[in-house]
Amino acid sequence: MSSCPISCFTVLIIAIFLAASAFAQAKPPAQDTGLTSYVEFGGTTNSAGQVYELDSNIGYKLTEHFAMDMGVPIYFVNASSSTTGATSSSGLGNPSVNLRWKYLHPAVNFASVVTGSAPLADSKLGLSTGRATFDWTNRLDHSFSRVTPFLEAGFSNTTSDSRLFQRPYTTLGLNSHFRGGAEADVWKSISVGAAAYDIQPFGNQTVFSRVTGTPGGNGAGATHGRNFQSSQQTTGTADIARDNGFSTWVDASLTPYLDAEVGYTRSVHYDLNSVSFSLGLNVGHLLRRSAHQ
């Protein structure tokens, strides 16, 4: 079983690059270059508590294909009273750098993002693993009229948050992760989407809780495998960091520079239902618009 995540990941990544190479013949439409900046506030609530994140980044789009940015998140955590040793806290997360590559094509769009984070945040608050982390995620998508199906595959040494799921924990340990679904434009600037996800860890794993300060253990006895609700730090086999489930969401582009999203995520592995929201401001777009006026 331990070799399956690695082999499945390898096959899928090879397929992604073969697809990208096969379609990389026609010249994509030109893209704007220059300064980029985005500020986003979002959060997730579930039975473990609430985790909110204020994330801001600044970067530069070097060419129509390549860009990079860096940022530092700020977390606000309010644990549920039902969580053992419930704690509420706030603090800076790990600063990170993203390297982005994107290729737009009439047949298929391909994007790849490599993220590296420095371990400067507090691991006792679950805001860091105490180690440098990385994530490499690849995405394929294609629009059929109003519907855009997509497929993502990645490799990482941590379990990352997403816009749809600010997790009540973070992890340290190798994993491959997959996500597939579709998004549909339903009316003007409003779209809806649904996707399934799967996180397949392998090797030893450590889970750092953001919602409890209770000393760590091996996760034994945690309800539905939710060791993050019983121990601040749990070390064990791959099973303690495994997760799978699905999400649905509604997106709205309120203005050319303001985005909003609400979503629902069901973690099947943890038997956990989460509701999320996010509000994002494209500062880079505002700056470019002001400069052109």
Q: What is the pLDDT of residues 19-32, one digit of tens each?
A: 444 444 444 444 57
What is d(CA 197, CA 186) in angstroms, rounded to the nearest whole number? 23
The number of C-alpha atoms within 13 Å of 184 and in the hemisphere containing its C-beta is: 5
- Res. 75 pLDDT band, cuts 50 70 90: very high
Torsion angle of the four alpha carbons 147, 153, 154, 155, in this order, in degrees rounded to the nearest 10:
170
Of the spans 4-8, 75-79, 214-218, which averages the highest pLDDT? Answer: 75-79
Cβ–Cβ < 8 Å for 71, 57: yes
In this predicted structure, the answer to whether residue 277 has a pLDDT above a threshold of 70 is yes
The residue extents of the domains of the chain are 3-292
CA atoms within 13 A on the CB side of 158: 24
DSSP at 114? E
Strand pairing of 109-117 and 96-103?
A: antiparallel
Q: Please give the Cα distance from 52 to 47 (Å, whole number).
A: 15
d(CA 170, CA 167): 7
> Other C-beta atoms within 10 Å of 144: how many?
9
The CATH number of 3-292 is 2.40.160.40
Give pLDDT tens digits for 134-143: 999 999 999 9
* Rounded CA Rg of the chain: 19
pLDDT at 181: 97
pLDDT of 5 higher than 50: no
Please determine, for residue 289, whether its predicted confidence score (pLDDT) is greater than 60: yes
- Percent of the chain at pLDDT exceeding 90: 73
| Mean pLDDT of the chain, nearest integer | 88
DSSP state of 288: H
Half-sphere exposure of 7 (CA within 13 A, CB side): 4
Which stretch, 22-26, 70-74, 163-167, 252-256, has highest mean pLDDT? 70-74
37 or 3, which is more confident: 37
pLDDT reported for residue 292? 65
pLDDT at 219: 56
Segment 190-208, tens digit of pLDDT: 999 999 999 999 999 999 9
The enclosing H or E element of 237 equals: none
Within the chain, where are the H helices?
A: 3-22, 283-292
Averaged over 107-118, what is the pLDDT? 97
Distances (CA, A) of 129 to 78, 210, 259, 262: 19, 11, 30, 28
